Every structure is written in C-alpha cells, then in structure tokens.
Amino acid sequence: MDQITFRSDTVLSDVHLLLPNACHLMKRLNSVGQPVFTSKFRILRDCDGKDSSGESPVRESTDASNVPRDEDGDLDVVRRNVWDLMDLFCHIHTMATPLEDVGKQIWRGAFLLADFILVQASMFKGATVLELGAGTGLTSIVMAMVAKTVYCTDVGDDLLSMCQRNVTLNKQHFEPQESEIRVRQLDWMADDFCTDADLEFCWTDAEIVDLHDNTTFVIAADVCYDDNLTDALFRTLYRLASNMRHPSTTYISIEKRLNFTLRHMDVSCEAYDHFRHCLDQLQQMTDGKMNFTLEPVKSSFPQFFQYERVEQLELWKVTAERL
C-alpha cells in the first residue's frame, strides 16, 4: 500500500476561525494528545442569510422618549430567539491540526454540501448514500435526515471514533425518519474493504452487498488537498461505480485555496488544478466499461448554515453509468 507523507504544516479551518459569537470549549484530549472541542451549529430555517450571528437586531436611540414600549407602557425589550433544539447540531472536533489530521476539523465545503442536501431533500429521500472522507461526520448526519442509509467512511480509529460520537450526539436529527448511519473504514489506498471482524469499524459481507446493490449517491466534501490522495479518490470512485448495480451520482465540494507559489511565481491553487485534471481524465476515459459525465453545480441555492460562502467554493456533479 502506498504511503502518504505530509509536511508538518499546521492548518485551521475558517469555519472555526470566523464562526460568529463562537465559544470553543475544550472537552478533553484525544488518544493522540490533541485537544477536542465542542461547537454548536444551527440550521437557518428562514435561509435569508441576513442574520448569521443568531442575534436579534439592536434598536438604538438617543432620545428616551423614542424607546419602544408595549400597549401597557412597559419597555418593549428585544429578546433573543429561543431556537428549537431540533435545529441545533452539537459537534466535537479539533482546532488547528497537522495536514494529515484535517479531517478532524469542519470545513466550508462540508457546509456547502450540507446546504445542497437540504435544498434537494426530495432527490435524496429514501436513498442509500456513501460518503467518502467523511471526517467528523457533519455531512453524513445531514444526509441521514433525508436518506435511508448512509455509509459514513474515512480512515483512522481516532477520527472514526470522533465521527461515531458525533453521530450519537445528533441522532435526534435522523432517528425519527428511521434512517441509519454506519461509520466504516474505507481506505482509498487499499484495493478492498476492511472485513477484519476484530476491528471496530470493519465491514460485514452483508453491508458490502448492500452498498453495491443499493447505493445511488456518493458524496465527498473538501477532500482534495493532496495530489496523491486525490488520485486515490478517483481510483476509488471508479472502482466503486463499476461495481454498483445502479447508475450513481457523485457530488464533490471543493474550495479553491489560492496561494502565491514560487514554482509559478504567481497566485495559484495546485490542489484544485490537479482535481480538475482528474475530473477531465475521468470524463475522457474510454475503457469500454464505464461512462462518466461532469457538470458544475451553481452554488446559488439557499444557505442553511452559518459560514462564509466564498466564491472559491464549488460543487461538482459526476454521473457514472455502465456502457
């Protein structure tokens, strides 16, 4: 199996950095000594995006006579909204991490894909869905609000345990719909599923059959940041699609992170360029077995979560069918 070697860069998601009125409370240290935090995210049911802070507007007046009063003459106090607990997601995660552990953070691409799922709920209703590189599991949890079965996959026992914990913390969002989330290990560098019964997040034979027979959607949120991993992602997509009974549709969100590079002496995003190259290669593939079509999805759909939807966020649709 190929080994991926990362540089010792430390990165922090803008979701954690820019979340308004956020109070990140450290809960514990994980098994590798990293601080674990808990954050809460609210679904914006009105989808207007005008009040992303969750606060009611403050009325200002320099004239005491203009202070709002009710019909009894008492001060009309502006109160904060009391949010329905069903609109709150409690999520555990880390903050700044080395590049190899970025899956333990929450990224804007996950929120973009979650928004799309809620907008297109009728399309995903009752479906069997596979998420690749699920990280902390946010997008899988949102998907389970509408889908029947969600296979939430990634690698690393510590990350998968964190993901399973988030699934348990947020089960009120999908259990009423009798949906289920199965957290499983899926290594893109491996050629097959992990079926070792001694491992906590292994696959059963029945689950593998169910995945191949019933999956119609695959999702992946902000997983293309290393060229070797991106190559492995597309190999995995091809292998899975070619073994599925039904045509499948994959939605991939990505953020184009622009940096000045000495290699080009210009602003560029090499990870994004490689992602687009892999997309083009997939569409141009002529192996006589599979046909892939690509389509960018406009990100003008309503926003349900608090994050900055920058223009560099993109969503791509990949449709796979056998010839």
pLDDT tens-digit profile of 132-151? 999 999 999 999 999 999 99
Say whether pLDDT at 82 is over 60. Answer: no
Task: Give the mean model confidence (pLDDT) for residues 11-28.
Answer: 70
Task: Give the mean model confidence (pLDDT) for residues 189-214.
Answer: 97
Residue 32 banded pLDDT, cuts 50, 70, 90: confident
Residues facing residue 129 across a β-bridge: 150, 217
Residues of the chain above pLDDT 90, percent:
62
Say whether pLDDT at 68 is over 80. Answer: no
Task: Give the mean model confidence (pLDDT) for residues 98-109.
Answer: 91
Task: Give the mean model confidence (pLDDT) for residues 182-196.
Answer: 96
Residue 23 banded pLDDT, cuts 50, 70, 90: low
pLDDT of residue 266: 64
**Domains by residue range for the chain, with CATH:** 104-322 (3.40.50.150)
DSSP H helical ranges for the chain? 14-18, 108-119, 121-124, 138-144, 157-169, 205-214, 227-243, 270-284
Say whether pLDDT at 239 is over 70. Answer: yes
Say whether pLDDT at 235 is over 70. Answer: yes
Task: Give the mean model confidence (pLDDT) for residues 289-312.
Answer: 95
Task: Give the mean model confidence (pLDDT) for residues 163-174.
Answer: 95
Residue 121 banded pLDDT, cuts 50, 70, 90: very high
**Alpha carbons 145 and 128: distance in angstroms, whole number:** 12
pLDDT of residue 6: 45
Residue with more model confidence, 276 or 58: 276
Q: Are 319 and 295 in contact (CB under 8 A)?
A: yes
Residue 62 banded pLDDT, cuts 50, 70, 90: very low
Closest C-alpha among 173, 14, 10, 162 to residue 88:
173
Tokens matching residue 274: 């490689």
315 in helix, strand or coil? strand
